Chains A and B, each alone.
Chain A
Amino acid sequence: MNLEIILHAGLATGTILLFAAIGEVLAERAGVLNLGVEGMMLLGAMTGFSVSLATGNPWFGVAMAMLAAGLLSLTHAVVTISFQADQVVSGLSLTFLGTGLALVLGNGLTGQNAALIPNFDIAGLAAIPFVGPAFFKDHSPLVYIGYIFAPLVWLYIEKTRPGMHLRAIGEKPVAADTMGVNVYALRYFYVFVGGCLAGLAGATISLSVSPGWYSAQTTSGQGWIAIGLVIFAQWNPLRAALGAYLFGALRRAILDLQGPRMILGFTNPLFINSNFGFFLQMAPYLLTILALVIGSRAAMRKRLGAPAALGEPYIRGERGL
């Protein structure tokens, strides 16, 4: 149990959740709930890995992963924005479709070795004691991108004009429409961006953080955890990033618990019977539920929370209040 190592691993695995959760924040702030994150991530992970395998260029793999997941998310956009179908069911179908596509197209990728994105140190910063080794040493460039990405998205949503439009179409699409904002086009755009980010999250897994293609095990429910984080984060990208890192660190801490013989002077039960590990593996899922309870209670108390028009199709010309 080494805090520095846990933090380092937490930042790396947290980056996966960070990209996926922030993508979902953007889609949901625009008023479109997309439950297909798991499917999009899986398609992204598969695409990134196989493109890198075929071309030898992992960055090209990342780009294609984003494109593939983005295109997949457009089916959700068409069905929910244009056809005004139920966003919950459509999102679920997207999960099925993404998972199915990824498994069919990724057949035979398991056990292959693709070119991966190499880790590097940030010169200078890496020398800072404790902080340096945890934050700036031997990380994937995607992790460093994640550090600046979350604040940038926050600035974009809260402080820029397009960000204001984004908030408007998620809170009061009628008003936005009257002001001349194209609600339909923008919702398509943010669903697409959310899809691209889920694809990026998938590629972060398969090309960098835990490289390889292990069919549905590659994501193992992280897409769903990301959706849970969005609620926990109250649709705030900065809180989403913090939550993602926290979750990443906890996952690592859980792994590390299996090692030592004694913990705090007590015999480690996992050392006697490794099957107790099953209970430990439940922790991320139970913690997601706990995070949700905390998030939902805060939302109730402060009377804020989900974007007002989340889940509602916008139908021009109909009275929607």
Chain B
Amino acid sequence: MALPFSVAVEKRTEDVPRWMPALTSVGSVVLAFVFSALVLWLIGVNPVQVYSFFLRATFGSWAAFSDTMVKATPLILVGLACTVAFKMKLWNIGAEGQFYMGAFFASLVVLVPLLPTNSPPAVLIPAMALMGMVGGAVWGFFPGVLKARFGVNEIITTLMLNYVAILWNNFWIFDRWSDAGFQMTPTFERNSWLPRLSDYARTYPAFSGITLHLGVIFGILAAIVVWWVMQRSRWGYEIRLIGDNPQAARYAGINIARNIVLVMMFSGALAGLAGMSEISGVVHRLQERISPGYGFTGIIVAWLAKLNPFGVILVSILFGALIVAGREVQPSGIAQLIQGFVLFAVISSDVLLRYKIHIVRGADHTAAVGESA
């Protein structure tokens, strides 16, 4: 069968145009929604209905948008955690566990209590944030050391530690800190809550019911810090060099083993801060299922953002919306399905960044066909 055109593929020799990566990300998201619509349609659900419901539930009003941002907040931090590790081709799949450990360590501040319970928020909140980061960093430290010392695959160790962290938290929630036998700790005192916009509803009535909390500022600050570290600091240069070309990094005298441990701890600390922000800003106690898989979604967020810290913020808003919508729509799992399609589309589209694909028509085409015939 002779087509009036042929497709030519050639390797890119020049740099990719700056707009291309962003365009492929947007295209991947669109494609993912189309594929998911197809699956929904096949199982007899009206995709238009589902998607318009999605839109209303997530961006339909200020309150809905605030819900979306509340879900985006942990994603920003966890997405940054993955960004940092992935830059070095260190596959930290353990952000979920680091998130739980961050929540646990932050809880220690108010539940042990490490600080007097009547301390002012200006003392308690920074202490909890710090402990959250310590908790996450500890949980990143172990796989980092195992990788650096024994060459143990960090994908599996970080993943296994996710389960361990959740079970560890369960022990404290079900047993030591259980609130009157319920599977949760008592509600924290108000002085350990992250301030929310709704707290100011008395002065600004427009804020009533807006649950957006200070955690989102943590996320934005963290994005700036990560950007600075990666692009402007010597350490960031080392990380990028190890990621791009470990051989060259070794010849340059960079200590790879040390960087593996440090980057895992940095990554873990960001995920741990996400855990702190979630319990101090949203649930106000430690309980089961504080994360609907933020740690895993963070992987997609980082990848879709092409490991760009500010891109992570934008993508997190989209995925925050998916989580908000996913909880309210049946059948459950749709959000995960879309996430899977997004990730596949985005890595498949990378081929466009490495190769030039163009359609050949007319004389060139006939020449090409003649050649192959």
Contact = CB atoms under 8 A, between A and B. Distances in A.
Contact of A97 (B156, B168, B344): B344
Interface string A85-106: 1101110111111111111110
B11 to A, nearest CB: 9
Contacts of B150: 293, 296-297, 300
Interface string B58-102: 000000000000000000000000000000000101000000000
B167 A90 contact: no
Contacts of B339: 96, 100
A275 interface: yes
Contacts of A78: 348
Interface stretch (B13-21, B113-121, B296-304): B296-304
- Chain A's interface: helix, strand, loop or mixed, by majority? helix
A101 B160 CA distance: 23
B161 A285 contact: yes
B130 interface: no
A88 B93 CA distance: 11
Nearest to B151: A296
Interface string B226-265: 0000000000000000000000000000000000000000
Given A104-B43, A282-B168, A286-B160, A93 B155 contact: no
B343 A93 contact: yes
Contacts, number: 144
A88 B302 CA distance: 14
Given A93-B343, A96-B340, A101 B39 contact: yes
A289 B155 CA distance: 11
B174 A278 contact: yes
Interface stretch (B270-278, B327-335, B360-368): B327-335
B329 to A, nearest CB: 11
Nearest to B35: A97
Interface residues of A, number: 52
Interface string A268-304: 0000010110110110011011001100110110000
A283 B146 CA distance: 18
Contact of A285 (B163, B296, B303): B163
B344 A224 contact: no
Contacts of A221: 159-160, 163
B336 A99 contact: yes
- Chain B's interface: helix, strand, loop or mixed, by majority? helix
Contacts of A83: 347-348, 350-351
A96 B343 contact: yes
A79 B347 contact: yes
A97 B348 contact: no
Given A85-B347, A85-B350, A97-B340, 10 more contacts: A83-B348, A90-B347, A92-B93, A94-B344, A231-B153, A282-B167, A285-B164, A289-B146, A292-B146, A296-B151
Across the A-B interface, the 7 shortest Cβ-Cβ residue pairs: A103-B333, A97-B340, A100-B337, A96-B340, A100-B336, A107-B331, A93-B343
24 contacts: A39-B340, A92-B343, A93-B344, A99-B333, A100-B335, A100-B336, A100-B337, A101-B39, A103-B336, A104-B334, A107-B331, A108-B331, A221-B163, A224-B160, A231-B156, A276-B171, A278-B171, A281-B167, A285-B160, A289-B160, A289-B161, A292-B146, A292-B157, A296-B153
